[in-house]
Structure 1
Amino acid sequence: MVVDDVESEDGGERAAVSFAFDRMTVQRFRETFPRARWSDRRKAWIVPGKTARRRIDRWIAKEESRADPYAEAKGRDAFAFEPILSPYLGVDKDGLRITTPYSRKLVEEIRQVPFARWDGEHKVWRVPFASYDDLVDHWQAIEAEAQRCEPEERRKRAEARKGTDQERASRRGAAERKRRRIPLPAHDLPPLNRPIATTPYGIIVVDDITGELIEPKEIADLYPDIADDHIWGIWRTPSLDELVQTWPSRTEPGDEERQRGWWLPTLEELREARRAARAREQRASPQPSA
């Protein structure tokens, strides 16, 4: 099953879900989501509402448990017999609850656990007991990354970097990012005004090509893979609307595309970018007065 966030023409929040056709599965889905509508364009069911993604995740978890109706009970027993003892893991009426500092690597690791979902209201990750064995497999990496991202650990690393080549490189990289430019292969330029995925800056939109040839030696520390003729492109961060309207690539980028430095974003990459864009727009929007 594939779930994605989408936005309606009137700006309302929705989620799309697609799954292999099965008459009984569709019937159960329609009973759970009576307002859902099929989209021929997206080849998916569209569920309206701010909590649509969360409700779909819960429904998928229930569907998964049909394959093993005792999975939830088995997970509870496994946790009771050999619990994960960690300040980052708790239990409540909704199942297992993960609370950690943020890092992209941490998010990617948690998403490897089946049916793990982000609870934006409580700012925690939710994992059903049915996925406990999978959580155990990933927990060492999750906890290690969470500890590394604690504010005190970040401060220690920052102190250790002061005056080092690493700090100077970090400052130079930050200054380069503010210039909003990116080297692009002169013989294989990306489409303008369309979200693309890039190695150094994630998903961006290239607005303009300067035509200025780049001297690789001058930027070798920032872009070590530059070899052939490259020119500068001027980029910006895409809006949520642009990301929603972008169709994902059906294939993962190959080595050649990654070496090129840009590729058409995949569904997972777009999902992450949409979440970030939605959070940015929510922070930027004026809060209603009390």
Structure 2
Amino acid sequence: MAETKSSTGHDEAPPNEDGAKPGADISFPYDRMTVEQFRRRFPRARWSDARKAWFVPGRTASRRIGQWLAEMEAEADAHADAKGRDAFAFDPIDSPYLELGKAGFRIRTPYSKTVVDELREVPFSRWDGDLKLWHVPFRSYEELRRRWAEIEAAARRNEPEERRRRAEERKGTERDVRSKLRSAERKRHRYPLQSDHLPPIGRPVVTAYGIVVFTEISGELVDPNVVADFYLGVTEDHVWGYWRIPTLEELVRTWPAKLPPVQDAEWWLPTIEELRPARRTARSREARKRAKAP
């Protein structure tokens, strides 16, 4: 990675060095071809042993260096895209969920959390909210190819026909009944808490339901005989706490915990690994609300 620095930032300029002149320094990992390109672009540049950097003289040096770096990055991206395009031609992905675009791949699937999680791990991928699809540049083909089996399997599982088929198979079974009961319990927005270990009110914490904000601790005792199927380990010492989904602002303001939760904890302060996906989800949720607003 290249670094640039204005010569005015030097505390002391050695005698006869370029530090007293207008200009800028640039340093980058040694590569013969890169050095040759740099020297052709900046023939007046000189290497400084004292600063371990190239010095480019001139009042517009920083701007000219920035332009050169941008061109080099674009050239590298173009080379990587060409390499990815060739890899696709040699070993293509044949899938109804993927089509070629001008600058890369366009991926459109039924919604699946697995698909979203996998595509977010592909470098330079981005979601297009207007077209309702993912864009992945050619340069990321190798990583996309590695993850594609999981992406396509999850997409097929979430096709409307497949979901309806599974729902029909589950209908009336014990599993279906338990699923509906769990869903009804979650909609109550309550959670059993140890009476001697209560979470802070108004602060995002992690529970079995994900990151939530407790708004009230009612003091009402939990009846284990009624809810033991939903909350493992619940006892008569538990009381009900009521929660809501945190806002994006609350999640952004939350300072991540440095230590992981203790084993079998009922709630804990979120780590950065837990906050990041929650923030993305909250950002998407608020964007959808704004889009629906008149």
When the two structures are superposed, what TM-score results if normalisation uses the length of structure 2?
A: 0.68
Would you say 1:172 and 2:181 are equivalent positions? yes
Correspondence for 2:254: 247
1:142 aligned partner, one-letter code: I
- Name the residue aligned to 1:134: 143
Give per-residue Cα distances to partners, 1:150-174, cap 9 Å, x unaligned: 0001100110111111111111112
**Is 2:227 the partner of 1:219?**
yes
Identify the match of residue 88 of structure 1 among 85, 88, 97. 97
Alpha-carbon distance in structure 2 between the residues aligned to 1:264 and 1:205: 12
What is the distance in 2 between the residues matched to 1:93 and 1:240?
Answer: 34
After superposition, the Cα gap between the structure-2 partners of 1:196 and 1:261, relative to the gap in structure 1 and judged at 3 Å, is: closer
Judge conservation of contact 2:222–2:236 (CA < 8 Å) in 1: no
Question: Residues of 2 paired with 1:163 and 1:150: CA distance?
Answer: 22
- Go from structure 1 to structure 2 and tell me whether the alpha carbon gap of 1:255 and 1:73 turns closer, same or farther (over 3 Å shift): farther
| Alpha-carbon distance in structure 2 between the residues aligned to 1:132 and 1:228 | 55
1:78–1:132 Cα contact (<8 Å) kept: yes
Q: Please state whether the residue corresponding to 1:210 is helix, strand or coil.
A: strand
Q: Tell me, in whole angstroms, the C-alpha distance in 2 between the residues paired with 1:77 and 1:104.
A: 30
Supply the AA of the counterpart residue of 1:23. T
Match for residue 273 of structure 1 among 275, 278, 281:
281
Is the CA contact 2:257–2:271 (under 8 Å) kept in the aligned structure 1? no
Q: Please name the residue that 2:66 is paired with.
A: none
Change in 2 beyond 3 A, CA 1:106/1:262: farther
Q: 1:109-140: CA deviations, max 9, x gaps?
A: 22222222211121111111111111111111
Q: Secondary structure at the match of 1:97?
A: strand
Identity fraction in percent: 47
Q: Secondary structure at the match of 1:234?
A: strand
Structure 2: 5+ residue stretches without partners: 6-24, 26-69
Structure 1: segments with no counterpart, 5+ residues: 1-19, 28-59
Q: What amino acid is aligned across from residue 88 of structure 2 in structure 1?
A: F
Task: Indicate the structure (1 or 2) with the bigger Cα radius of gyration.
Answer: 2
**C-alpha separation between the residues in 2 aligned to 1:103 and 1:159?**
20
Given candidates 264, 270, 286, the residue that maps to 1:264 is 270
Report which structure shows greater RCO (CA 8 Å, sep ≥6): 1
Q: Counterpart amino acid of 2:231? A: Y
Give the match for residue 127 of structure 2. 118
- Do 1:239 and 1:277's aligned partners in 2 also have CA atoms closer than 8 Å? no
Conserved in 1, the CA contact under 8 Å of 2:105 and 2:137? yes
Report if the CA contact (8 A) 1:75-1:132 is conserved.
Answer: yes
1:87 Cα deviation from its structure 2 partner: 0.5
What letter corresponds to residue 266 of structure 2 in structure 1?
R
Q: Per the alignment, in what secondary structure is the counterpart of residue 23 of structure 1?
A: strand
Distance 1:280 1:182, change over 3 A: farther
In the aligned structure 2, how far is the partner of 1:23 from the partner of 1:214? 62
**CA 99–189 in structure 1, closer or farther in 2 if over 3 Å, else same:** same
- How far 1:188 sits from its partner (Å)? 2.8
Residue aligned with 1:272, SS:
helix
1:62-81 → structure 2 map (5 Å cutoff):
66=76, 70-81=79-90
1:182 matched to which residue of 2?
A: 191
Number of equivalenced pairs: 229
Of 212-221 and 124-133, deviating more is 212-221
Deviations 1:144-196 (A, max 9, x none): 00000000011001101111111111111121122111122333322211223
Distance 2:255 2:285 in 1: 16
Measure the CA separation in 2 of the matches of 1:122 and 1:130: 22
CA gap of 1:251–1:103, structure 2 versus 1, over 3 A, is farther
The normalised TM-score by structure 1 is: 0.69
Q: Would the aligned equivalents of 1:95 and 1:128 in 2 still touch at CA under 8 Å?
A: yes
Q: CA deviation at 1:283?
A: 5.0
